[in-house]
Structure 1
Amino acid sequence: MGYKNPVISMKGTDHGDPAVLKFNGFYYLYHTAAKEIPVYRSTNLIHWEKVGVALQASTDPKHWAQIGLWAPEVIYENGIFYMYVTAALMNQDGTENDEVRRIGVAKSYSPTGPFQLNPEPLTNEWSIDAHPFKDDDGSYYMFYNVRNEYTRGPNGVIGTGNVVDRMKDLETLTGNPTMVVKPERLEEGNKEGSFYWNEGPFVLKHRGLYYQMYSAGFFGDETYGVYYATSKVPIGHDGMNDKSWIKWQNGTPILQTNEACLGPGHHVIVKGPNGIDDYMVYHGYEPKEKLGERRVRVGRLQWKDGHIDLEPPTNDTIAMPTMPDFDGRFIDSTVEVNQQLNQYQLESYFFESNLKKGSGHALFIDEQNHVWWTLSQNRLEIRLVENGQEKLKQILSLSIDSDAFHLIQIEKKKEKLNVWLDQVLYSELSLEFSKKVGTVTIDAEMLEGTILTQLD
């Protein structure tokens, strides 16, 4: 069974700048719109259902977000959904005022909305394409796109570049943007050479190295493509003159126009249903349509010796995303979940579930040998028991809402076991059990999105 791109394609609608949120077993997709940002839902990244309007532009003539709702990206943190979106003021003739574009925040208690716009924008200069990045220590950084004297392209021609700023909280930047990438090659501009772009940032961390993927070229034609740069740190120390980020092969694209797709780019990376595989969700034009409307496409991302390798656009049938070995995403009974989990005796695996509070075994071999965790309102506790003796007890203080869902993730690779909560790495254990295989258990009043995937 397979699928063909595009996965979202409705004539009369431009599906530009797609972003995906994974929450409680579902995927939610948002994209650019003039005044109403739609939201779609899926269980497999391929088959999508439109489920409503997530955000509407303000009708207040003094508000910062009147029109041009670009590049919405949504994150979930401690019970609240935050949408980072670009918007513009409206000219008297109803068009967008491109000179007054800002990034701002809208909030909701549901991934489908309605999201409520904050009264003031997040940024105070021309800015688009917000990407909030959460490091595995819990620190947040905002990557976004600006247009100023520092971001000029070849020959001093006007252009846009990506910067990064630390976030004081999820609604406030520190106000010290630092350069990430700016256009440096003729290929990063339009055919006329009158404007240059490095935009659409998305950040990954792989084996301790930071990768900022970005799009360059003109989004309206075949010059558009995807690139990346790397850095040992998410943000440097030299402000708009910083050079911490190095473009791969001096700015060589890793995804570009071919016979199947024109102008692929502005993307996000999201884990597939098995919690392991990486997928790129991006937009592109269909060459046969000859319309100024972008369609949503999905392709694999794989790591090859530290390099990002993207599946090129194709008209062929592609294999569906791999499902987890145990798919309990929509089973809310703890008893039923554990009955099925107990059938899996594994040495290496990935497990995740969403709960409000509870406990479980990250690894259970027997009563004398196991790793136990407990999540409560103010702490995460992890205990390692070997041969009946408590070898390790970690008590980690937290400040979380116990009425909100939280994501627990466990990865065991032979003797190594890691535990994450809400994408923060809290525990790295080295195990010395004589028996290598075991099971996973979980005990909570409410469960969503539970999966278990065997690792090689």
Structure 2
Amino acid sequence: MYSITSCQESSSGNNSSKAEKADSSKKTYLSQPLVNNIYTADPSAHVFNGRIYVYPSHDTATGIPEDDLGSHFDMRDFHVLSMDSVGGKVTDHGVALDIKNIPWAGRQLWAPDAAFANNTYYLFFPVKDKQDIFRIGVATSKTPEGPFVAAPNPIKGSYSIDPCVFKDDDGKFYMYFGGIWGGQLQRWNSNNQYDSTKGNRGAEELAILPRVAPLTSDLQNFAAPVKELKLTDEKGNLFKEKDNSKRFFEASWMHKYNGKYYFSYSTGDTHNICYATGDSPYGPFTYRGVILNPVEGWTSHHSIVEKDGKWYLFYHDVQLSGKTYLRNVKVTELHYNSDGTIQTINAVK
């Protein structure tokens, strides 16, 4: 379905999908990978200048052993993909930002997002600092594909992973972020204080909540302190950790549809992409259901974008490699019911 134009050859010779190939002959996939010259994951999709730009993680096989903290997700640069329309030719624009050009970075360049303001394109990214604590940085470019130049320091007061930057109808920007387990959110309390000894919550404890903060007009700093984002069941009750098919794990995304705010996220160890709705960018958000059932592979991470009157879900699986740390980005159309609920998608049969 998709063809690819490469503006720059992959920077790592071990990225070729030919190196590790999964046996997918007995599976039926809803969609095919956008590209197969490199491994990609965690796609953040945006429409800039009438074109779809996708900002994914760039998976590589670095030989780091797998563990529950995600040490094997050892990304070292970002590529930007683009296409005129879903189903059309996909361009890989090459390396947009390399970890070696982020002054404060230590390791693990995880899932990014992007935004446009002030005649500038912004790339937001989590990476561990020199003390091995995840922070969120920002880089800028005059073009949506980059290359991007990183600010000398992370965003003050930022922590954890998976930034999603949402522009509301009034022009204000908000950042949603956080991820438990390897994403370290469990080490940060509701007052934004860090405790390296804090572990994952017990089954009967309240689940850890995602975070939100407004951004300053230059998109370089938080305009107010980071707050927890309330995520509840239909009765207004916060989820417990044992409610792990519905509670937040990682992969925040925000979009707006018919005046409602839709907060979507991954449940992590139960592999659902779920969503909740609210009337304010700060919530509270009420759980509504599952957008995407578990994909092939351990992780699930997505974005939702409108183009030419249709809505699309970008996601990833491991069709090309069969390896949880070598993923590939895909896209499929998203459908709403008349009451604003979202129809659940099955990515594989």
Q: TM-score, normalised by structure 2?
A: 0.71
Displacement after TM superposition at 1:159 (Å): 6.9
Partner of 1:7: 33
State whether residues 160 and 199 of structure 1, in contact with CA within 8 Å, keep that contact through their aligned partners in structure 2. no
- Residue type at the aligned position of 2:342: I
Deviation sequence 1:120-157 (CA, Å, 0-9, x none): 21143532111111111112111111432459644367
State whether residues 104 and 121 of structure 1, in contact with CA within 8 Å, keep that contact through their aligned partners in structure 2. yes
Q: Distance in 2 between matches of 1:110 and 1:67?
A: 26
User: Greater shift after overlay, 167-176 or 110-119?
Assistant: 167-176
Structure with the higher strand share, 1 or 2 = 1
Unaligned runs of 5+ in 2: 3-28, 59-74, 179-184, 191-198, 232-238
Q: How does 1:6-405 map to 2 (within 5 A)?
A: 6-10=32-36, 13-33=38-58, 34-46=75-87, 47-58=89-100, 63-89=103-129, 97=132, 100-145=133-178, 146-147=185-186, 148-150=188-190, 153-155=201-203, 161-169=209-217, 170-181=219-230, 184-186=240-242, 188=244, 198-218=249-269, 223-235=270-282, 244-248=284-288, 252-257=289-294, 261-263=296-298, 265-272=300-307, 275-286=308-319, 289-290=322-323, 292-304=325-337, 305-314=339-348
Q: 1:70 to 1:292 in 2, by over 3 A?
A: closer
Q: Distance in 2 between matches of 1:288 and 1:104?
A: 30
Q: Distance in 2 between matches of 1:177 and 1:264?
A: 26
Q: Distance in 2 between matches of 1:90 and 1:6?
A: 38
- Residue type at the aligned position of 1:209: K
- SS in structure 2 at match of 1:174: coil
State whether residues 133 and 203 of structure 1, in contact with CA within 8 Å, keep that contact through their aligned partners in structure 2. yes
State whether residues 280 and 298 of structure 1, in contact with CA within 8 Å, keep that contact through their aligned partners in structure 2. yes
- SS in structure 2 at match of 1:155: coil
Q: 1:277 to 1:118 in 2, by over 3 A?
A: same
Q: Distance in 1 between matches of 2:243 and 2:323?
A: 23
Displacement after TM superposition at 1:21 (Å): 2.6
- Residue type at the aligned position of 1:256: N
State whether residues 103 and 128 of structure 1, in contact with CA within 8 Å, keep that contact through their aligned partners in structure 2. yes
Deviation sequence 1:168-214 (CA, Å, 0-9, x none): 2211112422222566343528xxxxxx8522111122232211011
Q: Distance in 1 between matches of 2:49 and 2:154?
A: 29
- SS in structure 2 at match of 1:168: coil
- Residue type at the aligned position of 1:266: H
Displacement after TM superposition at 1:59 (Å): 5.1
Q: 1:52 to 1:287 in 2, by over 3 A?
A: closer
Q: 1:303 to 1:123 in 2, by over 3 A?
A: farther
Question: Sequence identity of aligned pairs in percent?
Answer: 28
Displacement after TM superposition at 1:314 (Å): 3.8
Partner of 2:63: none
Q: Distance in 2 between matches of 1:157 and 1:279?
A: 35
- Residue type at the aligned position of 1:164: V
- Residue type at the aligned position of 1:215: S
Larger radius of gyration: 1
Q: TM-score, normalised by structure 1?
A: 0.55
Q: 1:264 to 1:57 in 2, by over 3 A?
A: closer
Displacement after TM superposition at 1:280 (Å): 0.6
Q: Distance in 2 between matches of 1:163 and 1:202?
A: 12
State whether residues 161 and 199 of structure 1, in contact with CA within 8 Å, keep that contact through their aligned partners in structure 2. no
Q: Distance in 2 between matches of 1:21 and 1:9?
A: 17
State whether residues 64 and 102 of structure 1, in contact with CA within 8 Å, keep that contact through their aligned partners in structure 2. no
Deviation sequence 1:307-345 (CA, Å, 0-9, x none): 122432146xxxxxxxxxxxxxxxxxxxxxxxxxxxxxx
State whether residues 251 and 265 of structure 2, in contact with CA within 8 Å, keep that contact through their aligned partners in structure 1. yes
Q: 1:75 to 1:310 in 2, by over 3 A?
A: farther
Unaligned runs of 5+ in 1: 92-96, 190-195, 237-243, 316-456
